[in-house]
Chain A
Amino acid sequence: MTPYLLCAGTIWQREIVRFVRQRSRIIGAFGQPVLFWLLLGSGFGKNFRYAGGGGEGYLEYFYPGIIAMVVLFTAIFSTFAVVDDRKARFLQGVLAAPVPRSAIVLGQVLGGTTLALLQGVLLLAATPLAGVPLNLEAALASVLVMGLIGFALTALGLLLAWRIESTQGFHSIMNLLLIPLWLLSGAVFPVAGAHPLIGLVMQVNPLTYGVAALRRTLYLSAPDAVANLPGLWMSLIIMLVFSGVCFSFAVRTAERSEG
Chain B
Amino acid sequence: MNQNPGPALDVQGVTHRYGSRTALKDVRFEVSEGEIFALLGPNGGGKTTLFRIITTLMRPTAGDAQVFGHSVRDAPHAVRRKIGVVFQQPGLDPKLTVFENMIHHGRLHGMLGAPLRNAADALLAQFGISDRKKDYVETLSGGLQRRVELAKALLPRPEILFLDEPSTGLDPGARIDFRNELKRLRSETNTTVVLTTHFIGEADHADRVGVIHEGDLVAIGAPDALKKEVGGEVLSIEAGDPESLRVKLEAMFSCEVRSVDGSLRAEMRDAHAAIPRIAEAFPGEVRSITLGKPTLEDVFIGKTGKRFIDADADLPAADARKS
A interface list, Cβ under 8 A from B: 1, 3, 6-7, 9-11, 13-14, 17-18, 21-22, 84, 88-100, 258-259
Sample of 7 A–B contacts (CB below 8 Å): A10-B104, A96-B83, A97-B105, A98-B77, A98-B78, A98-B81, A259-B57
B190 on interface, CB distance cutoff 8 Å: no
Q: Which B68-107 residues have C-beta < 8 A from chain A?
A: 77-78, 80-81, 83, 85, 87, 89-96, 100, 103-105, 107
A54 to B80: give the CA distance in the assembly, Å.
Answer: 60
B77 and A95 form a contact (CB under 8 A): no
Residues from chain A with Cβ under 8 Å of B108 in the complex: 7, 10, 94, 97-99
Cβ 8 A contact of A96, one of B57, B78, B323: B57
B197 to A: closest C-beta gap in Å:
18
B110 and A18 form a contact (CB under 8 A): no
B286 on interface, CB distance cutoff 8 Å: no
A96 and B110 form a contact (CB under 8 A): no
Residues from chain A with Cβ under 8 Å of B80 in the complex: 96-98
Residues from chain B with Cβ under 8 Å of A93 in the complex: 85, 87, 91, 105, 152
A9 to B: closest C-beta gap in Å:
7
A204 to B: closest C-beta gap in Å:
37
A165 to B: closest C-beta gap in Å:
15
B52 on interface, CB distance cutoff 8 Å: yes
Main SS at interface, chain A: helix
Q: Which of B89, B108, B110 counts the most A-chain CB atoms under 10 A from its CB?
A: B108
Cβ 8 A contact of B55, one of A88, A91, A96: A96
A114 to B: closest C-beta gap in Å:
17
B109 on interface, CB distance cutoff 8 Å: yes
Residue of B nearest to A22 (CB): B95
A92 and B96 form a contact (CB under 8 A): no
Cβ 8 A contact of B104, one of A3, A14, A22, A91: A14
A96 and B92 form a contact (CB under 8 A): no
Residue of A nearest to B164 (CB): A92
B180 to A: closest C-beta gap in Å:
24
Q: Which of A6, A10, A98 counts the most B-chain CB atoms under 10 A from its CB?
A: A98
Residues from chain B with Cβ under 8 Å of A1 in the complex: 112
Question: How many inter-chain residue pairs (CB < 8 Å) link A and B?
Answer: 77
Residues from chain B with Cβ under 8 Å of A7 in the complex: 107-108
Chain B interface size, under 10 / 10 to 19 / 20 to 34 / 35 or more: 20 to 34
Residue of A nearest to B56 (CB): A96
**Extra pairs beyond A17-B100, A88-B321 (6, CB < 8 Å):** A17-B96, A89-B87, A90-B91, A94-B108, A97-B109, A98-B80
Residues from chain B with Cβ under 8 Å of A94 in the complex: 91, 108
Q: Which of B78, B81, B93 counts the most A-chain CB atoms under 10 A from its CB?
A: B93
Residue of B nearest to A14 (CB): B104
A15 to B: closest C-beta gap in Å:
11
A1 to B: closest C-beta gap in Å:
7
B220 on interface, CB distance cutoff 8 Å: no
B294 to A: closest C-beta gap in Å:
37
Residues from chain B with Cβ under 8 Å of A88 in the complex: 89, 93-94, 321-323
CB contact under 8 A between A3 and B110, given known A95-B57, A259-B57: yes
Residue of B nearest to A96 (CB): B85
A18 to B92: give the CA distance in the assembly, Å.
Answer: 13
B144 on interface, CB distance cutoff 8 Å: no
Cβ 8 A contact of A14, one of B77, B87, B96, B112: B96
Residues from chain B with Cβ under 8 Å of A17 in the complex: 95-96, 100
Chain B 110-134 near chain A by CB (<8 Å), digits 1 or 0: 1010000000000000000000000
A1 to B89: give the CA distance in the assembly, Å.
Answer: 32
B107 and A9 form a contact (CB under 8 A): yes
Q: Which B37-73 residues have C-beta < 8 A from chain A?
A: 52, 55-58
B91 and A6 form a contact (CB under 8 A): no
CB contact under 8 A between A258 and B89, given known A14-B104, A21-B95: no
Residues from chain B with Cβ under 8 Å of A14 in the complex: 93, 96, 104
A89 and B90 form a contact (CB under 8 A): yes
Q: Which of A14, A22, A94 counts the most B-chain CB atoms under 10 A from its CB?
A: A14
A116 to B89: give the CA distance in the assembly, Å.
Answer: 31
A239 to B39: give the CA distance in the assembly, Å.
Answer: 51
B93 and A90 form a contact (CB under 8 A): yes
A92 to B80: give the CA distance in the assembly, Å.
Answer: 12
Residues from chain A with Cβ under 8 Å of B107 in the complex: 6-7, 9-10
A115 to B: closest C-beta gap in Å:
15
Residue of B nearest to A10 (CB): B107
